[in-house]
Amino acid sequence: MQHITSEEIAEMEKLFRLNLINSVTGYKSANLIATKSEKKGVNVAVFSSVTHLGSNPALLGFITRPTKEVARNTYKNIKENKYFTVNHIQKNMIESAHQTAAKYDEEISEFQQTGLEEEYLDNFYAPYVKQSKVKLGCEYVNEYYIKENNTVMLIGAIKHIYFDEGIQAPDGWLRLDDAETVAINGLDGYTLPSLLDRFHYARPGQEIKSFFKKED
Ligand SMILES: Cc1cc2nc3c(=O)[nH]c(=O)nc-3n(C[C@H](O)[C@H](O)[C@H](O)COP(=O)(O)O)c2cc1C
């Protein structure tokens, strides 16, 4: 097996290290975060750091770098207006989704540049991505500065959830491979996971039981 130490990581060429470290921590969620500014219009960008924080209250978080040197429109718009949407990236949208990472000027809408469509639902302030099959309307709750690498974890409350009815199981669970939601491998790889199995709650000393496989 290949073995790499922290000293070797520190000595690596920048892009090589970026690719290695971004992929070695595993698959990440693939989402488009969309926001709106009254003066500068709409914004949408790809994020791989959106993560579940808790279900009651329903909270999510994502990591961003609010530096002064590079404008961060998503962060700025959320701070100004409090609302944002999180939209799953589907198999048929990966090129458009990736293109949203390009550094467009604040006045330029990534929606117009990429063919992704804005959609407004139930009077929510921020736009959703029409092509997305799973989308969340969120409200800013708080943020935590991470001093170790000058980033911020922004916390959002989930206010609205939309998805195609066909992907939900009777117990609430969403089968994301039915929606063709992708995952991110590294910083530029998009992959389509397929479900292997689903298990009942694990208890010490009890055999793992599948939801799908019939008992003999
Ligand atoms: C696959 C992928 C994942 C990304 N994930 C994040 C992320 O989690 N946080 C972040 O701040 N930027 C992330 N980026 C970079 C942003 O998409 C990029 O900086 C974008 O221009 C930000 O747009 P904004 O300035 O309009 O907010 C990612 C880029 C790619 C290609």
Interatomic CA distance for residues 11 and 140, integer angstroms = 38
The pLDDT confidence band at residue 106, using thresholds 50, 70 and 90, is: confident
Task: Quickly list H helices, the chain.
Answer: 6-11, 14-24, 73-81, 94-99, 110-114
CATH of the domain at 187: 2.30.110.10
Spell out the residues 6+ positions from residue 54 whose beta carbon is closer than 8 angstroms to its own. none
Q: Does residue 76 fall inside a structural domain? A: yes
Instruction: Indicate whether 213 belongs to any domain.
Output: no
> 176 lies in a domain?
yes
As for ligand 1, residues whose beta carbon falls within 6 Å of it are 43, 45-49, 62-65, 71-74, 98, 101, 103, 184, 187-188
How many angstroms separate the CA atoms of 135 and 150, rounded? 29
Q: Which atom of ligand 1 is nearest to the CA of 70?
A: 25
Domain membership of residue 11 (yes or no) is no
- State the average pLDDT for the chain: 94
Query: In percent, how much of the chain has pLDDT > 70?
Result: 96
- For 74, the domain range is 28-191
The stretch 22-41 carries a mean pLDDT of 95
Residue 40: pLDDT band by 50, 70, 90 thresholds?
confident
| Domains held by the chain: number | 1
Type and span of the H or E element at 64: strand 58-64
20 inside domain:
no
Q: Residue 133: name the closest of 182, 173, 194 by CA.
A: 182
Amino acid identity of 183?
A: A
Is the pLDDT assigned to residue 69 strictly greater than 80? no
Q: For a substitution probing ligand 1, which of 28, 42, 48, 79 has the most ligand atoms within 8 Å of its CB?
A: 48
Determine, yes or no, domain membership for 169: yes
Q: Is residue 196 part of a domain?
A: no
Among the ranges given (59-68, 86-95, 167-176), the one the predictor scored with the smallest mean pLDDT: 59-68
Rounded alpha-carbon distances, angstroms, from residue 139 to 38, 46, 68, 126, 136? 17, 18, 24, 10, 10
Question: What pLDDT sits at residue 70?
Answer: 67
Q: Give distance in angstroms: CA of 45 to centre of ligand 1.
A: 6
Taking CA atoms only, the protein residue closest to ligand 1 atom 25 is: 72
The pLDDT tens digits for 119-145 are 999 999 999 999 999 999 999 999 999
Note whether residue 89 is domain-resident: yes
